[in-house]
Amino acid sequence: MTLTAPATPPPAPAPPHPLPTPRREPTVRRAWRKASPYAYIAPFFTLFAAFGVFPLIYTAYVSLYRVELQTPGDMEWRGLGNYTALLGDEFFWTALRNTFTIGVLSTVPQLVMALGLAHLLNYRMRGRTFLRTAILLPYATSVAAATLVFAQLFGRDFGLINYVLGVVGIAPVDWQTGTVASQIAVSTVVVWRWTGYNALIYLAGMQSIPDELYEAAAMDGASRWRQFLHVTLPGLRPTIVFTVVVSTIGATQLFGEPLLLEGSISGGISHQYQTLGLYMYEQGWGFFHLGRAAAIAWVMFLLIVVLVGVNALIARRRSRKEAGR
Amino acid sequence: MPIDRAARSTTVAVRLGAVVLSGALLAACGGSSDGAATDGAGGKVTITVDLFGSFGYKEAGLYAEYEKLHPGVTIKQTDTEDEADYWKSLQTRLAGGGGLADVQGIEVGRIASVTQQQADKFEDLKKYGADGLKGQFAEAKWAAATGKNGEVLGLGTDVGPEAMCYRKDLFAKAGLPTDREELAKRWSTWDGYLALGKQYKAKAPGKSAWLDSIGSLYSIMIGQEEERYYDASGKLIWEDNPALRAAWDHSVQAAEGGLSAELDQWSPQWNQAFAAGSFATIPCPAWMLGYIKGQAGESGKGKWDIAALPGGAGNWGGSYLAVPKAAQHKKEAYELIKWLTAPEQQTRLFEKQGNFPSSTGAIEKVAAATDPYFSNAPIGKIFGDAAKAAPVQVLGVHDQNIAQQITNALSEVERKGTAPGKAWENARKGVANTLG
């Protein structure tokens, strides 16, 4: 690439022999040539070490102690006590369960809708570019702004959604107090924000599927729906795996939406929509138990590693099966 | 749906960091202009004030006046509505040592945490001559902000003598008496209050409820007690405290009788309900008057009235102003809080916003005050009597957090129909989890 030009030597003069023995480069230059790629990527890895790895390790260290935010100097060794306490902690299990249910409630509709949208946007139509850009807009809004608007919409007494339900004759729903209702409310915000984002990723994936396949399918008399099932979906498999992995990680870390729905760090009066991320925040910044919060953070980290691993295994197995066919 | 680190930090920044950030920015700006100040050139100082709820200084025009009296001083205030959010962000900044304002507000339910756990993070105001102010303040108010070694960690702003605010117009429509004297007699006990509530419910205008939330009912009742969560020796007693249990039982009765509008205090819906007239009564400590005016707006003027509280006098809330060790302009900050908490300013704040003075001199001055917004109720007398008779409360480090867990459990009874016994059990678990 031309970017590296200053580092490479200028083209050598025409060699006197057809098969010349390469001249030895000066050692400094050679060393630089070998080292330069590392130098170029160093800033990222330095930052990653400082803001990624170090906090991770420090969190693990803190999770072995009893530390309170108000007296951060007094650290009392607890060993794995913070972790074993989680096993018997009813609120932790509630949070884990909520994280799972909200994760499913938001990820599944989100990805299905994104697929459908991408399929539609992939057709030739007027204003396609505009629509493709517009679909990304929810993603560009901040979680805070989006959630605050949704919290108003879902309001029990003066919310628009309950008003509409009332017009249809359905009794008002207490979107913040009911367990299922509140989880649906949280999931709605998530779905709204991320559907367009995933749709664009799918769209990009669809563009790499050769047109000939569609043409061939059309010649064979396959309907649009059949084309979607038998050409688009198989072609998109790697993309789908990617979005599932990313969405799983996102669902496990879900935090902003449940926090802002009611402004409650306990995820509602009876923890009905408290996610793991929120529980960690409540322990750390609500009750100031930093050690316990750190333990939860690590459990979340391990959980994500396991989930991503399972995802990868399934994906690999499927593609091997495909190859074997 | 990758809620990645960036997205997450955005939210955290919004909830908790926005203040930090603005504080840091202010500090940064202040830093440069300070340079000038210490050089003796411009003499310009920006004092940052970070508060919660409604202290009402800006609304009462006190900042503007202070700036006029002290040319070169600019006051910048940031404000968080919910005290729990405010405290969280303050604790984070105290731990990090950055982004602190020159003046930080401290709620009375947190002052024990400051004196017992964080005395080293706040300035001892004796350094600046606060000792001389002692005689100005009610004794209990002063004592609560005094640390183990006699350091003075904050100056008292207001106290929260309790009363009952009610909508006269709604009462009239429901056929209840509207005269505050008569009402005070009818609801001299909490049972009387609940009985009147049932009467209201039978003929309630519109869809209005008798009461905003049983959370506020519990809070005002617990404010009538001397010992609540801890005893004087610092032992946790809330579970076996009969007074607390009585407040709980009355709240449960109100919930089960369907007397509450089932709102959550400090939530957006609660705020909207003031103007919408969703409830007829709201337990109100003096500082709530400013809040009601703010939420109910001009159209509420004259519709409200105030009567003495059922079950006797009590105190709910009241705050302190403190100067963190990490503040930029400690001396100027002290001068400001000394002025803001002086009897004259406390008097004016009461007249404009209703925050009841903690200064003994001011209490006498306001005895004759009335408030046109609240149908010319004699607020000086009602709150003055309550302030004199209010118990001196035992304060504990975790008062606020425990109260939050109990209020949550009560909300479960109120909004989800959870059995009271189960809810009590939930409160116990919640408190255990809080204390860790």
Predicted confidence (pLDDT) per residue in A12-35, tens digit: 555 555 555 666 778 889 999 899
Residue among B373, B427, B28, B375 at smallest CA distance from B218: B427
CA pair distance B156, B320, nearest whole angstrom: 4
The pLDDT value recorded for residue A125 is 82
Kindly report the average pLDDT of chain A as a whole number. 89
The pLDDT value recorded for residue A21 is 62
B201 HSE (CA, 13 A, CB side): 17
pLDDT tens, residue by residue, B203-214: 999 889 999 999
CA pair distance B376, B179, nearest whole angstrom: 12
Q: What is the DSSP letter of B16?
A: I
CB contact under 8 A, B117 and A70: yes
Residue among A283, A294, A254, A258 at smallest CA distance from A273: A258
The alpha carbon of residue A66 is apart from the nearest alpha carbon of chain B, in Å, by: 10
CB contact under 8 A, A255 and B11: yes
The pLDDT value recorded for residue A324 is 66
Angle between helices B288-296 and B268-276 (to 10 degrees): 70
List beta partners, residue B260.
B211
The pLDDT value recorded for residue B26 is 38
In sequence order, which residues have a C-beta less than 8 Å from that of residue B432 and are 6 or more positions away? none
The alpha carbon of residue B148 is apart from the nearest alpha carbon of chain A, in Å, by: 17
The pLDDT value recorded for residue B18 is 40
Residue among B114, B18, B34 at smallest CA distance from B327: B34
pLDDT tens, residue by residue, B288-299: 999 999 999 999
Nearest chain A residue to B398 by CA distance is A287
Of B3, B429, B436, nearest to A289 by CB-CB distance is: B436
CB contact under 8 A, B8 and A277: yes
CB contact under 8 A, A285 and B118: no
The pLDDT value recorded for residue A20 is 58
Give the torsion through C-alpha atoms of B372, B374, B375, B378, to 10 deg: -80
Write out chain B residues lying below 8 Å of A287, CB-based. Answer: 401, 433-436
The pLDDT value recorded for residue B42 is 53
pLDDT tens, residue by residue, A200-240: 999 999 999 998 998 999 999 998 889 889 999 999 998 99
Of B4, B278, B412, nearest to A250 by CB-CB distance is: B4
Within its chain, how far is the Cα of B302 from the centroid? Answer: 24
What are the structure tokens assigned to B210, written together? 């008798």
What are the structure tokens assigned to A235, written together? 């072609």
CB contact under 8 A, B95 and A70: yes
Phi, psi at B161, each rounded to 5°:
-60, 145
In sequence order, which residues have a C-beta less than 8 Å from that of residue A285 and are 6 or more positions away? A69, A265, A293, B16, B88, B91, B92
Residue A120 or residue B377, greater confidence: B377
Greatest alpha-carbon span in chain B: 71
CA pair distance B320, B106, nearest whole angstrom: 5
Residues in B 32-61 with any Cβ partner in A closer than 8 A: none
B426 touches chain A (CB under 8 A): yes
B7 touches chain A (CB under 8 A): yes
Write out chain B residues lying below 8 Å of A107, CB-based. Answer: 1
Write out chain B residues lying below 8 Å of A247, CB-based. Answer: 1-2
CB contact under 8 A, A263 and B82: yes
Q: Span A41-58, mean pLDDT?
A: 94
Q: Are the C-beta atoms of B280 and B174 separated by less than 8 Å?
A: yes
The stretches of A208-289 forming alpha helices (DSSP H) are 211-219, 224-227, 233-252, 256-262, 276-281
Of B3, B92, B434, nearest to A250 by CB-CB distance is: B3
CB contact under 8 A, B3 and A70: no
CB contact under 8 A, B94 and A70: yes
Q: Span A23-51, mean pLDDT?
A: 90
CA pair distance B436, A79, nearest whole angstrom: 16
Q: Span A128-132, mean pLDDT?
A: 89
Each residue's pLDDT expressed in tens, for chain B with a length of 436 residues: 333 333 333 333 344 334 333 333 333 343 333 333 343 345 799 999 999 988 999 999 999 999 999 999 999 999 998 898 899 999 999 988 889 999 999 999 999 999 999 999 999 999 999 999 999 998 889 999 999 999 999 999 999 999 999 999 999 999 999 999 999 999 999 999 999 999 999 999 988 999 999 999 999 999 999 999 999 999 999 999 999 999 999 999 999 999 999 998 888 889 999 999 999 999 999 999 999 999 999 999 999 999 999 999 999 999 999 999 999 999 999 999 999 999 999 999 999 889 999 998 898 889 999 999 999 999 999 999 999 999 999 999 999 999 999 999 999 999 999 999 999 999 999 999 999 8
Of B2, B267, B434, nearest to A250 by CB-CB distance is: B2
The stretches of B97-212 forming alpha helices (DSSP H) are 108-117, 139-144, 168-173, 180-186, 190-202
Q: Are the C-beta atoms of B302 and B375 separated by less than 8 Å?
A: yes
Q: Any idea what the Cα angle at residue A49 is, between residues A47 and A51, rounded to 5°?
A: 65
**Beta strand residue intervals within chain A, DSSP E:** 65-68, 71-77
The pLDDT value recorded for residue B98 is 87
Residue among B332, B340, B370 at smallest CA distance from B358: B340
Q: Span A186-199, mean pLDDT?
A: 95
Of B2, B15, B268, nearest to A247 by CB-CB distance is: B2
What are the structure tokens assigned to B212, written together? 């905003």
Q: Are the C-beta atoms of A175 and A120 separated by less than 8 Å?
A: no
CB contact under 8 A, B408 and A266: yes
CA pair distance B36, A83, nearest whole angstrom: 53
Of B88, B276, B416, nearest to A177 by CB-CB distance is: B416
A207 burial via Cβ count (<10 Å: 0-12, 13-18, 19+): exposed
Give the torsion through C-alpha atoms of B13, B14, B15, B18, to 10 deg: 70
B376 touches chain A (CB under 8 A): no
CA pair distance A211, A206, nearest whole angstrom: 10
Q: Span A268-294, mean pLDDT?
A: 95
